[in-house]
C-alpha cells in the first residue's frame, strides 16, 4: 500500500472537527461489519468516537425490502464527544430501501454515496418507490456520488476464484475503501482484522482486501470526489484505550469484580436479544474460572444463579425485559433468602416482544416493583458503554456487601454502541470483601439471620462448612434464628429490615456529581443511555450562558441521599428518559418535587438537538416567569 | 467438628428441632423416616448435604432434616439445585418434590435435569393430588378423578413420571412406596450411589385428599400378588410363590405368564441400553398388570457438573491470563 501522504497529493485534505457517517444497506450487505471496521480504525487513529448500530430483529428479512435495512452510524471527532451524532454528514446507501429509510435524516448538503447496482423496477418496488428517486428530484440538495458498487467490485475481483455471488458480497469493502480514502484512514488495521476473521479462507481474505483497495484507488483517481477530509485526533486523557461495547464492558466489570473479591462467577442465562452477547462472551472466560450455564428457560437461568450464590459463588443472570418478567418470582426468593445476585437487564422496546433490536428504558418500574409483596432490590443503571464496566463492578460490590439482589439496567443502545474506554489500572480498582461465615463451634446452633449491625446483611453460610447447617427458604422467617414465623410483629420487623438494608446502601455513595453549578435555573437529570445526548445539549446551553446543570444517576434504588437538596437548588428539574416518565414518577413521589418528564418512546435514542430544543423552551418559560 | 473421626450417625442425627407439620397419618412421615435411615446408613455428613425443595406438602421436607436446606419456589428446585451442584460439585445435593411441583409447574426443569444428567438425587413424592392447595387433581391423577376443581371428573390424561423421565434421558429411575420402609430405604441408598441424576418416584398416600390411592396394590393382603419387584439380573416374577411372570411379545407388549411358561419371563437388566423394556413396564396398565417397583433404569454416563468443571480445568491449564491482560486484550492504543 502506498503511504497516506502520497495518496492525498491531488488536493489538500480539508480539516474537519467531526464527522457523522451512516452505513445503510440490506441485512446481508455487511453494514455492521463495515461500520465496525471503520470504528476500530478510527479509534486506533486517536479520534474520539461513538457508534450506534441499528438493525432489524429478523435475521434476514426479504432482501431489498424496507424491514430488511440494517444501519450503523458512527461519529468521530477531534474533541470529546458524547453521542454518535444526530444527522449524518455522509450516508452510504447500498440499495433503494436503505436510501428510502435514511435519506431524510442526511444533513442538507451532506454526501450521499449511492450504490446504483440495484435500481431496477423490482428493486424500486420493494423499496416502495413509485419512480426512480435518482431522476425525479428526490436527491436534490445533497451531494450525490453514484457508484455501481457491484460492477466495480466484480471488475476488481476479476481474477478471484470466488463465484459472482461471493464477489458481490465484497461490495461493502469496496465502499469502505472509498470512505477510507475520503477520510484519510489507514487501511492496515482492517487488513489485519480481515486476515484474522477469515483465517481459514484465504480466497475470502484476498477478495475482501482487493475490493477495499480497489475502492480506495477508485476514490483517489476518479474526479467525482472533490476532496478528502482529515479529522485530527482528539485530545484525550492520557492512558491506554480500547474501544468497548456495552455488553462487553458489563462482562469485564463482572469478571474484574469477581476476581477482586476472590470469588467464582456463575452466569445462568437464556438467550435473548439484545443480551445474548453477555452469555457468549462470558462463555469464553472459562480460563478465568467463569462458569456459564445456558439454562432451559429464563426462570431456570435465574434459579441456577440463586443456587450458585447459595453455594457460595457470585450468581449472575442476564436478560432483557420479557425474561425479566419471567424471573420476577425467583428474584423475590433471593430477596427473602437474602442472597447476593446480580441481574442484568439489557432493555429493549416493549411491551411483550415489542421491538427486540430497538432501545428503550421502560423497565425501571419493572425492576423496582415487578415482584409480589414488599420486595426491595438495589437498582443501578449503566449510562455509556464504558460506564457499564464501573456499573457492573459496583453491582457486585453491593450484592456481596449487603446480601441483596442488584438489578443492573442497560439498554440496546449501550449494549451495541461503542466508545473508547480509558482502561482502569487494575491495582487501583476498589477492594471488594467477601465474608463467608466461619465454621461453627460444635454444639452451637447457627443463626442464619444474625445481622451485621451496620449493613444489616446476614451471614453468607456456605454449605460444606461444618457447624453451619441451617434451613432457609421463601417462607417468612424469624429474624436471627431463621425459623419459619407467621408472627405479625416479626413480619413487620422483617419487611422493615429488608427495606432498611437496601436503604443503607446509600450510606456508601459519594455526593452526586454535577455538570455545571450545583444551583441555578435548570437541572437536567438523566439515567442510562440518554446521558450522552443530555451532556451535549447541556454543554451547548452552558456555552450560551444559561444557568443550566446536569446530573446523572447510576444508583436508582436507593437514590443518593443528597438528591433532594440538589434538585431544590434549581428552579426547574427536567428529566429526559426513553419511557413515559418512570423515574420522574418515582422522584415526584419520593421528594414532592415537580420533576418534569421529557419522554420519548419510539425505539430510538434521544437526539441531542431535540433535547436542546426542549430545554431551550423550558429556559424561555423560566425567563417569562421572571419578567412577569 | 472435624472430619478426622466421623462418629457413626444414627437417624436422630438428621432430626431437627422443628415440629413436623404434615397431617397425622400422611405418608410423608414414613418417607422422612426411610430417608433418615438411608442417610444414617450411608454416614452422610449433614454439613456436606443440601436438600432443595419447591412448593407443596413434600417440599416442607428440608425443615425436618438436619442438613443444609433450601425451601424455594414452586417447581424450580431442580434448577436451583443445578446451580448448587455446578457451583460446588463436592456437595451432596438432593431435591425433594411432588407430582404437582415436578410434573406440572416444574416440568421443564425436571426434564432438563434428566437430559443433562446433573448430579442431583430427586425424590418425587407422588400422591396423585394437590395437597397443600387442598385437593385439586394433579398431572398424575387418573382420568375422571372427581376433585374440587373437577366436579364432573378430570378430563386430563395422567403422566407416568418414570416414562417421562425415560423419554428425557434419565440415567437412574426407580420407584418405591411410602409404606415399603426397607425397600424405600434401599432404593434411596442406591440412588445416592449413582453418578448423575437419580430420580425416585415414591408413591405416597395423602390421607386427607386422596386416601387409599395405592391401596389396591400396596395393602399387605394384596401386595404379593400386585407388586412386581424389579431385581437386576433376575426374571420378572411376582406372586406370593413367585408363580407368575412378565414377558414381552414381539411388539413389546407385556404378557403375564404362569406354569410351564414361567421360564420365558423376561430377565430384568436395569443397565440395558435399550429403554423399551423399562418404558413398557412404566406404561403398562395398573389394573391389568402388577405394579413394578425398584430400579427401572441405571446407566453410567458422566455427570453434567463434571463436564462443566472439566472444561474449566482444561481451559485454566491451557491459558493463563491476568485481569490486566484481559482488560488490555484486543486493539489498544496509547494517548500521551
Ligand atoms: S394434605 Fe395430604 S400430602 Fe399434604 S400433609 Fe396432609 S396428608 Fe400429607
Taking the domain A520-627, which CATH number applies? 3.40.50.920
Q: A297 and B108 in contact by Cβ < 8 A?
A: yes
Mutate to test the pocket of ligand 1, among B29, B61, B63, B209 (most ligand atoms within 8 A of CB): B209
How big is the CA angle at A160 (ends A158 and A165), to the nearest 5 degrees? 85
pLDDT tens figures, A335-393 = 999 999 999 999 999 999 999 999 999 999 999 999 999 999 999 999 999 999 999 99
Nearest to B334 among A240, A332, A471 (CB): A240
Nearest to A189 among B46, B47, B331 (CB): B331
pLDDT at A10 over 60: no
* DSSP at B103: I
Pairwise CB contact (< 8 Å): A242 & B333: yes
Of the partner residues A303, A306, A466, the one whose CB lies closest to the CB of residue B47: A466
* pTM metric for this prediction: 0.92
What is the dotted CATH code of the domain comprising A242-428? 3.40.50.970
C-alpha dihedral (A177, A178, A182, A188), degrees to nearest 10: 10
A85-120 confidence digits (pLDDT tens): 999 999 999 999 999 999 999 998 899 999 999 899
Burial label for A488, CB within 10 Å (0-12, 13-18, 19+), is exposed
Give chain B's radius of gyration (CA, Å): 22
Q: Tell me, yes or no, if the two domains A4-230 and A520-627 fold the same way.
A: no
Q: Output the CA A476–ligand 1 centroid distance in Å.
A: 21
> Which pLDDT belongs to residue A227?
74
Residue B3 pLDDT greater than 60, yes or no: no
The cell 421463601 sits on which residue? A474
* pLDDT on residue B7: 66
Query: For B247-266, what is each residue's pLDDT tens digit?
Result: 999 999 999 999 999 999 99
* pLDDT at residue B330, rounded to an integer: 82
Q: Which atom of ligand 1 is nearest to the CA of B207?
A: 7
Separation of CA A45 and ligand 1 centre (Å): 72
Read off the pLDDT of residues A43-53 as tens digits, 9 standing for 90 and up: 999 999 999 99
Confidence check: pLDDT of B220 > 60: yes
For the record, the C-alpha cell of B248 comes out as: 414381552
Mutational test site, ligand 1, from B131, B134, B137, B202, max ligand atoms within 8 Å of CB? B131
Q: Average pLDDT for residues B260-276, to the nearest whole number?
A: 97
Domain boundaries, chain A: 4-230, 242-428, 435-508, 520-627
Domains of chain B in start order, with CATH, are: 11-213+302-310 (3.40.50.970)
Are B83 and A307 within 8 A, CB to CB? Answer: yes
Per-residue pLDDT band at A2 (split at 50, 70, 90): very low
Contact residues, B window 12-31, toward A, CB-based 8 Å cutoff:
16, 18
| pLDDT band of B5, cuts 50, 70, 90 | low
* CB pair distance less than 8 Å for B83 and A268: yes
Q: What is the DSSP string of A402-455?
A: HT-EEEEEEEHHHHH-EEEEEPPPGGGSPP----BPPPPPTTPPP-TBPPPTTT
pLDDT at A63: 87
Distances (CA, A) of B24 to B32, B125, B208: 13, 17, 9
Residue A145 in 3-state DSSP?
strand
Which residue is closest in CA terms to ligand 1's atom 3? B206
- Interface probe for A, chosen from B69, B79, B113 (most Cβ of A below 10 Å), is B79
Q: Cβ contact (<8 Å) for B83 and A464?
A: no
Asked if the C-beta of A312 comes within 8 angstroms of chain B's C-beta atoms, the answer is: yes
The backbone torsions φ and ψ at residue A473, rounded to the nearest 5 degrees and listed phi first, read 170, -170
Q: Quick one: CATH architecture of A4-230? A: 3-Layer(aba) Sandwich (3.40)
The predicted pLDDT at position B8 comes to 75
Closest-CA residue, ligand 1 atom 8, reads B26
Which range is least confidently modeled, A57-71, A278-292, A520-534, B202-216? A57-71
| Phi, psi of B288, deg, nearest 5 | -95, -15
Amino acid at each position: 500500500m502506498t503511504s497516506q501522504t502520497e495518496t492525498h497529493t491531488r488536493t489538500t485534505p480539508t480539516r474537519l472537527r467531526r464527522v457523522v457517517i451512516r452505513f445503510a444497506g440490506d441485512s446481508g450487505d455487511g453494514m455492521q461489519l463495515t461500520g465496525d471496521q471503520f470504528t476500530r480504525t478510527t479509534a486506533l487513529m486517536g479520534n474520539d468516537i461513538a457508534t450506534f448500530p441499528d438493525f432489524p430483529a429478523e435475521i434476514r428479512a426479504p432482501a431489498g425490502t424496507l424491514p430488511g435495512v440494517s444501519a450503523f452510524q458512527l461519529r468521530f471527532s477531534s474533541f470529546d464527544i458524547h453521542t454518535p451524532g444526530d444527522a449524518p454528514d455522509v450516508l452510504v446507501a447500498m440499495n433503494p430501501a436503505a436510501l428510502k429509510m435514511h435519506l431524510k435524516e442526511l444533513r442538507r448538503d451532506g454526501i450521499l454515496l449511492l450504490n446504483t447496482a440495484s435500481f431496477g423496477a423490482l428493486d424500486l418496488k420493494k423499496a416502495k418507490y413509485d419512480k426512480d428517486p435518482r431522476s425525479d428530484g428526490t436527491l436534490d440538495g445533497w451531494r450525490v456520488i453514484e457508484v455501481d458498487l457491484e460492477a466495480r467490485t466484480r471488475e476488481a475481483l476479476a481474477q478471484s476464484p470466488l463465484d459472482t455471488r461471493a464477489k458481490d458480497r465484497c461490495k461493502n469493502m469496496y465502499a469502505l475503501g472509498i470512505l477510507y480514502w475520503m477520510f484519510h484512514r489507514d487501511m492496515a488495521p482492517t487488513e489485519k482484522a480481515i486476515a484474522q476473521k477469515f483465517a481459514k479462507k484465504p480466497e475470502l481474505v484476498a477478495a475482501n482486501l482487493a475490493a477495499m483497495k480497489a475502492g480506495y484507488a477508485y476514490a483517489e483517481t476518479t474526479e467525482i470526489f472533490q476532496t478528502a477530509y482529515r479529522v485530527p485526533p482528539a485530545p484525550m486523557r492520557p492512558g491506554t484505550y480500547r474501544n468497548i461495547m456495552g455488553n462487553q464492558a458489563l462482562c469485564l466489570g463482572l469478571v474484574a469484580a469477581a476476581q477482586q473479591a476472590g470469588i467464582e462467577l456463575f452466569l445462568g442465562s437464556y438467550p435473548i436479544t439484545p443480551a445474548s452477547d453477555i452469555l457468549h462472551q462470558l462463555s469464553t472466560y472459562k480460563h478465568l474460572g467463569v462458569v456459564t450455564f445456558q439454562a432451559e428457560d429464563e426462570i431456570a437461568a435465574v434459579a441456577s444463579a440463586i443456587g450458585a450464590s447459595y453455594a457460595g459463588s457470585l450468581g449472575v443472570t442476564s436478560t432483557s425485559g420479557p425474561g425479566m418478567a419471567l424471573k420476577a418470582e425467583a428474584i423475590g426468593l433471593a430477596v427473602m433468602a437474602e442472597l447476593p445476585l446480580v441481574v442484568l437487564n439489557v432493555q429493549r422496546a416493549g411491551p411483550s416482544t415489542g421491538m427486540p433490536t430497538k432501545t428503550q428504558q421502560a423497565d425501571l418500574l419493572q425492576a423496582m416493583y415487578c415482584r409480589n409483596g414488599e420486595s426491595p432490590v438495589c437498582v443501578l443503571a449503566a449510562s455509556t458503554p464504558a460506564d457499564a464496566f464501573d456499573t457492573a463492578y459496583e453491582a457486585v460490590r453491593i450484592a456481596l456487601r449487603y446480601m441483596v439482589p442488584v438489578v443492573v439496567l442497560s439498554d440496546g443502545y449501550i449494549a451495541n454502541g461503542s466508545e473508547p474506554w480509558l482502561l482502569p489500572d487494575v491495582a487501583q480498582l476498589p477492594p471488594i470483601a467477601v465474608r463467608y461465615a466461619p465454621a461453627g463451634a460444635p454444639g452451637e446452633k447457627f443463626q442464619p439471620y444474625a445481622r451485621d449491625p451496620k449493613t444489616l446483611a446476614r451471614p453468607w453460610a456456605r454449605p460444606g462448612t461444618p457447624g453451619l447447617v441451617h434451613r432457609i427458604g421463601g417462607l417468612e422467617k424469624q429474624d436471627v434464628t431463621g425459623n419459619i414465623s407467621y408472627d405479625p410483629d416479626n413480619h413487620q420487623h422483617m419487611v422493615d429490615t429488608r427495606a432498611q438494608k437496601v436503604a443503607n446502601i446509600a450510606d456508601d455513595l459519594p455526593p452526586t456529581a454535577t455538570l455545571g453549578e450545583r444551583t441555578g435555573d435548570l437541572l437536567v437529570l438523566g439515567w442510562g443511555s440518554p446521558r450522552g445526548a443530555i451532556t451535549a445539549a447541556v454543554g451547548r446551553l452552558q456555552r450560551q450562558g444559561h444557568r443550566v446543570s446536569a446530573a446523572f444517576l447510576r444508583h436508582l434504588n436507593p437514590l443518593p441521599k443528597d438528591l433532594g437538596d440538589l434538585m431544590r437548588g434549581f428552579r426547574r428539574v427536567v428529566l429526559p428518559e426513553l419511557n413515559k416518565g418512570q423515574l420522574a414518577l418515582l422522584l415526584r413521589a419520593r421528594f414532592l418535587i415537580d420533576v418534569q418528564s421529557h419522554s420519548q418512546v419510539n425505539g430510538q435514542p434521544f437526539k441531542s438537538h431535540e433535547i436542546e430544543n426542549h430545554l431551550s423552551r423550558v429556559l424561555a418559560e423560566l425567563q417569562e416567569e421572571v419578567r412577569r | 467438628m472435624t472430619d478426622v473421626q466421623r462418629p457413626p450417625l444414627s437417624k436422630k442425627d438428621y432430626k431437627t428441632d422443628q415440629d413436623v407439620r404434615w397431617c397425622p397419618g400422611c405418608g410423608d412421615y414414613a418417607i422422612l423416616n426411610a430417608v433418615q435411615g438411608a442417610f444414617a446408613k450411608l454416614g452422610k455428613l449433614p454439613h456436606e448435604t443440601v436438600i432443595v425443595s419447591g412448593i407443596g406438602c413434600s417440599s416442607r421436607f428440608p425443615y425436618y432434616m438436619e442438613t443444609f436446606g433450601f425451601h424455594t419456589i414452586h417447581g424450580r428446585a431442580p434448577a436451583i439445585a443445578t446451580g448448587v451442584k455446578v457451583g460446588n460439585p463436592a456437595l451432596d445435593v438432593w431435591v425433594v418434590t411432588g407430582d404437582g411441583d415436578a410434573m406440572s409447574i416444574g416440568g421443564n426443569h425436571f426434564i432438563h435435569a434428566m437430559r443433562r444428567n446433573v448430579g442431583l438425587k430427586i425424590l418425587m413424592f407422588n400422591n396423585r393430588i394437590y395437597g397443600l392447595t387442598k385437593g385439586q387433581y394433579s398431572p398424575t391423577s387418573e382420568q375422571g378423578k372427581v376433585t374440587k376443581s373437577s366436579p364432573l371428573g378430570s378430563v386430563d390424561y395422567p403422566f407416568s413420571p418414570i416414562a417421562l423421565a425415560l423419554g428425557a434421558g434419565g440415567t437412574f429411575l426407580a420407584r418405591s412406596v411410602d409404606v415399603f420402609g426397607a425397600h424405600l430405604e434401599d432404593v434411596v441408598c442406591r440412588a445416592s450411589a449413582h453418578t448423575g441424576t437419580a430420580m425416585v418416584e415414591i408413591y405416597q398416600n395423602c390421607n386427607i385428599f386422596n386416601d387409599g390411592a395405592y391401596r389396591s396394590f400396596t395393602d399387605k393382603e394384596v401386595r404379593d400378588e400386585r407388586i412386581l419387584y424389579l431385581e437386576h439380573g433376575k426374571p420378572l416374577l411376582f406372586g406370593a410363590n413367585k408363580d407368575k411372570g412378565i414377558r414381552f411379545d414381539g411388539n413389546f407388549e407385556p404378557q403375564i405368564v404362569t406354569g410351564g411358561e414361567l421360564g420365558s419371563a423376561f430377565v430384568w437388566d436395569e443397565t440395558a441400553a435399550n429403554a423399551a423394556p423399562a418404558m413398557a413396564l412404566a406404561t403398562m396398565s395398573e389394573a391389568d398388570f402388577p405394579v413394578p417397583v425398584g430400579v427401572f433404569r441405571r446407566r453410567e454416563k458422566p455427570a453434567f457438573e463434571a463436564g462443566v468443571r472439566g472444561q474449566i480445568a482444561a481451559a485454566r491449564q491451557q491459558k493463563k491470563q491476568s485481569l490486566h491482560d484481559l482488560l488490555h486484550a484486543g486493539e489498544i492504543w496509547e494517548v500521551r
